[in-house]
């Protein structure tokens, strides 16, 4: 069976191939997290350039910096985005992507401001520590959970109903959002919903699929590097904490209702679909979208495409309904 890339995505990729010249830089070698971070940072900066710049492009959205304290005492920067003409009630705690080794709140300014402008729902964006030099194991997911707990504890001051706070993230951030939902269930601070965009859930996803290989933007070698950076010596063993790799959680019963979205041509497809299926089997409400012809980060690569606009409409619907 052959896959077919979405025509609008294919057109964007053709233009990029022409712009990159005949000898694009080689991909990072497996386990070179520094090179992967450098590539990821450059890629996210370019993707951000495809959106209106913040703050000028989102004049109604204001951001305020705060600091939360993680479980090990580390101080974690967070940023509260709120639309000036809206009344809070619900809120979203957001974890950015970056393969566990890259990304920042700054690089996601326009992404978060776009959600806030479109829905009127405020967001708390988390600058969690990156692996391996910032934190390993459950360190990053504890940072995101700390932000959820912090907002829940101070919800009255922000005009937020603590029962209407969701956790959300894309790629690695989607995995951290899912892990936060696990910690939150176990610690009695359950979110209203988990919104998982092409989430990175399973450290055991390391074997290339030859049918997918021609299309993948995040490769299995990248996946190996990101997971090894996060998990260190536990990588590949039974000692991996389920909160760090949520596909390993023994039971999904009692987890927050989920919205799960992934591209057909993404190496995370099987783990995202499998996780949604586990949730549904445990009677946890789960809405799943597998977008035909879509690669990893398809929505950011071609934000004006029909595919991206359809996905954004679904996300806005879910966020607005919190």
> How far is residue 242's CA from residue 140's CA, in Å, rounded to a whole number?
13
**List 110, 152, 171, 305, catalytic entry:** 171
Q: Where are the beta strands (DSSP E) in the chain?
A: 61-69, 75-83, 91-95, 123-126, 165-170, 193-197, 258-263, 286-291
Q: Classify strands 258-263 and 286-291 as parallel, antiparallel or unpaired.
A: parallel
Residue 133 φ/ψ, nearest 5 degrees: -80, -25
Tell me if residue 171 is catalytic: yes
Q: Facing residues of 81 across strands?
A: 63, 123
- Listed residue (195, 138, 135, 137) closest to 171, CA to CA: 195
**List 143, 266, 291, 299, catalytic entry:** 266
Tell me if residue 296 is catalytic: yes
> How far is residue 312's CA from residue 302's CA, in Å, rounded to a whole number?
12
**List 125, 296, 299, 305, catalytic entry:** 296
Whether the ω angle into residue 132 lies within 30 degrees of 0, i.e. cis, is yes
Tell me if residue 266 is catalytic: yes
- Catalytic residue list: 171, 266, 296
């Amino acid at each position: 069976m052959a896959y077919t890339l979405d025509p609008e995505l294919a057109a964007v990729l053709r233009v990029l191939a022409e712009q990159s010249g005949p000898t694009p830089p080689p991909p990072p070698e497996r386990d070179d997290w520094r090179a992967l971070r450098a590539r990821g940072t450059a890629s996210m900066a370019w993707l951000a350039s495809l959106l209106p710049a913040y703050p000028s492009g989102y004049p109604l959205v204001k951001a305020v910096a705060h600091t939360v304290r993680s479980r090990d005492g580390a101080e974690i920067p967070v940023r509260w985005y709120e639309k000036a003409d809206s009344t809070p009630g619900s809120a979203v705690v957001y974890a950015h992507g970056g393969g566990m080794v890259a990304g920042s709140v700054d690089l996601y300014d326009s992404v978060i401001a776009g959600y806030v402008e479109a829905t009127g729902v405020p967001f708390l964006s988390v600058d969690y520590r990156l692996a391996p030099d910032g934190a390993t194991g459950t360190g990053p997911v504890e940072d995101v959970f700390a932000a959820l707990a912090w907002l829940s504890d101070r919800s009255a001051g922000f005009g937020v109903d603590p029962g209407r706070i969701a956790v959300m993230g894309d790629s690695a951030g989607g995995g951290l959002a899912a892990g936060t939902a696990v910690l939150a269930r176990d610690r009695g601070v359950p979110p209203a919903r988990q919104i998982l965009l092409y989430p990175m859930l399973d450290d055991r996803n390391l074997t290339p699929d030859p049918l997918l290989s021609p299309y993948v933007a995040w490769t299995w070698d990248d996946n190996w590097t990101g997971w090894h950076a996060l998990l260190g010596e536990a990588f590949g063993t039974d000692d991996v904490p389920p909160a760090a790799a949520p596909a390993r959680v023994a039971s999904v019963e009692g987890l927050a209702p989920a919205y799960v979205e992934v591209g057909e041509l993404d190496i995370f497809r099987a783990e995202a679909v499998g996780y949604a299926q586990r949730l549904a089997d445990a009677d946890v409400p789960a809405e799943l979208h597998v977008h035909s012809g879509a690669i990893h980060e398809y929505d950011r690569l071609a934000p004006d495409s029909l595919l991206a606009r359809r996905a954004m409409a679904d996300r806005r619907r879910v966020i607005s309904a919190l």
